[in-house]
Amino acid sequence: MDPKPWRERIREEDELLQRLNQLASEAADRRAQALLDGVNELGTIADVARDLGVSWTAVDKAIKKYLRKQAAESGDTTE
């Protein structure tokens, strides 16, 4: 059996990377929403971070990135 031509293999791997990036983006969105739910339940970003054993900056950055993405998708601006 002949191996697939290199161009075809590259095309397939590019498609796989695109799907994986999409899945990672969707997972990050769901995680950020869960972090927001945690803030609503516990009160602060610091409380969520403490509960998870991560830095508050990691939680803050994830939430801010998600909120910016949501605003961009809905066309909201702060200007």
Is the model's pLDDT at 1 over the cut of 90? no
Q: Is the pLDDT score of 25 beyond 80?
A: yes
Here the tokens at position 10 are 């590259």
Summarised one tens digit per residue, pLDDT across range 26-48 is 999 999 999 999 999 999 999 99
Sequence ranges of the domains in the chain: 6-74
pTM: 0.81
Whole-number Å distance between alpha carbons of 9 and 4: 6
pLDDT, tens digit (0-9, with 9 covering 90-100), for 48-79: 999 999 999 999 999 999 999 999 998 876 55
